[in-house]
Structure 1
């Protein structure tokens, strides 16, 4: 498939993921690629082509809120600007001469239901090449099924040099309340979770460089490293998933999130929607009716505005 088309599809996936639109499945088609996007129960297929006149995208199916959102997103001029931006920034983030390094990322921060998951892993140059060849990239560009398979490969290759910390809703809500009492916010909590993962891996393995997908002020992560930042190079950068170690961490984190959501859905006997929009209010009401208002703390992140009625 043409590199220009690959880049364009990748940016579209990322932009749509930011709006809680996920990839359900994809396949090769004549002269291009078909990607089926979903949000809640809605599905929309998009055919991406690359011909003599350049890249084009055809959104399939009947009119729906999802189809409209996809059309507005993938035809925006910012997509083309972003594609160029990514092309110009594919250079290595890792400093020259670094033989091994750590990548850190999270999943679930923007989801009303389910856990907050942080992951970290240490890779060598050789392992990074193998992982990249096997398809490791930003998890937002992958289906849940592909993520599950890649997560197994990552864990098998890295052995003990990876860690995934899953903070289920009940623990998350308790921690969030504790941080709020100390006049701290979600980014403080997230930074401390990343710092704990970093400290655990550094207690077992030598690793001179740590790359974190940047989500806020550097201090959110640095404050929890207990001085390790003085002896290690800490790089916090946006779009950190360009680096294979961070991409691998994003896959481990997403896999942990999806598995936890599957378990919660089984426990509550209903399909819990991902994201923060479609189906959220209806699901909250269904949980209250079936389980009682008290059980919301076990399934949702109560700091979201969706739960303001509890306060």
Structure 2
């Protein structure tokens, strides 16, 4: 491996079975033993690690992640257009790092509790928030599983590893269903207020079990405004480390985001089963089309039980018809 300028990026590619076999042969001398049943191989060289996964997607491709200062050079051997993730610089660190392979040379590890939310941009379904506790041993496990920002992970893979994560890690997860969301929203709570209260409760639940452990959060509001949202709460989690890219700055936030996503997906599966049709995620045109079908089949009252009624999707759907 030739010398190159260090890069803080993480690179992901998808390869077919033939290429995966070639990669395994190529890196065989650098294999590191792993206990995860999901990892095909883990290879560690000078300033780079390569993690390949056994499970293939619907097109027969396997995910391979390259991390470390020389990841950019190494991935170029196998792909001209890898997906790139550039972590942000977290509070108190001298340089950016990947949360999955920070390495002792980049920062001194600190056990941590981190929280993140899912479902805030989805017309259908709940808002889910999760705080998760990660120690050094836990960090090694989420490295092996490739846990990162849930928005960058395939939902099928999250469904696969979700049961293992909720079994192996301590976490506090809260879900606000649509009827309750609509109720508190009508009382004047906006989305950020709702998220602040849910994050606060999840962080408190875990910090009571692990007093003094660093608290981290994916920042969705300025710290002063965040604590203002919590005015009147009987208990408030203090001294939180905020980062606008918290999933990339703190492994605990990444884990929280994946468990929250897993919970959200399970709840959406249950709703889809109840109504006999897959409910699309997000708030785009596919969702609008599904909402029109749902309204026609089940009526407005039932629709309001499974959606966030203040979303623009509802206004678009109902228009100005006074009879709806």
**TM-superposed deviation, 1:156:** 2.0
Selected match of 2:136 from 125, 139, 148: 125
CA distance 1:96–1:165, shift in 2 (3 Å): same
Distance in 2 between the 1:149 and 1:207 partners?
Answer: 33
Distance in 2 between the 1:226 and 1:279 partners?
Answer: 42
| Secondary structure in structure 2 of the residue aligned to 1:166 | strand
Distance in 2 between the 1:122 and 1:215 partners?
Answer: 20
Distance in 2 between the 1:260 and 1:203 partners?
Answer: 27
Distance in 2 between the 1:135 and 1:53 partners?
Answer: 19
Please say which structure displays the higher CA radius of gyration: 2
| Secondary structure in structure 2 of the residue aligned to 1:296 | helix
Match of 1:166 in 2: 175
CA RMSD of aligned residues (A): 3.9
Distance in 1 between the 2:213 and 2:304 partners?
Answer: 39
Distance in 2 between the 1:169 and 1:191 partners?
Answer: 17
Match of 1:30 in 2: 19
CA distance 1:129–1:241, shift in 2 (3 Å): same
Do structure 1's residue 205 and structure 2's residue 210 form an aligned pair? yes
1:107 and 1:250 in contact (8 A); partners too: yes
Do structure 1's residue 148 and structure 2's residue 159 form an aligned pair? yes
Match of 2:80 in 1: 55
1:188 and 1:220 in contact (8 A); partners too: no
CA distance 1:278–1:200, shift in 2 (3 Å): same
Match of 1:137 in 2: 148
**1:171-190 → structure 2 map (5 Å cutoff):** 171-178=180-187, 180=188, 184-190=189-195
CA distance 1:53–1:279, shift in 2 (3 Å): closer
| Secondary structure in structure 2 of the residue aligned to 1:206 | coil
Selected match of 2:244 from 214, 235, 238: 238
Do structure 1's residue 111 and structure 2's residue 122 form an aligned pair? yes
CA distance 1:114–1:237, shift in 2 (3 Å): same
Match of 1:259 in 2: 266
CA distance 1:85–1:53, shift in 2 (3 Å): farther
Match of 2:200 in 1: 195
**TM-superposed deviation, 1:220:** 4.9
Deviations 1:185-206 (A, max 9, x none): 2111111110111122223332
The structure carrying a bigger helix percent of its residues is 1
Q: Which runs of 5+ in 1 are unaligned?
A: 11-24, 58-73
Distance in 2 between the 1:112 and 1:297 partners?
Answer: 10
**TM-superposed deviation, 1:116:** 0.6
CA distance 1:28–1:53, shift in 2 (3 Å): closer
CA distance 1:53–1:195, shift in 2 (3 Å): closer
Selected match of 1:270 from 265, 272, 277: 277
CA distance 1:52–1:249, shift in 2 (3 Å): closer
1:192 and 1:220 in contact (8 A); partners too: no
Count of aligned residue pairs for this structure pair:
257
| Secondary structure in structure 2 of the residue aligned to 1:56 | coil
**TM-superposed deviation, 1:171:** 1.3
CA distance 1:84–1:268, shift in 2 (3 Å): closer
Selected match of 1:304 from 311, 315, 321: 311
Distance in 1 between the 2:242 and 2:18 partners?
Answer: 38
Match of 1:293 in 2: 300
Q: Which runs of 5+ in 2 are unaligned?
A: 1-5, 24-51, 65-73, 90-94
**TM-superposed deviation, 1:299:** 1.3
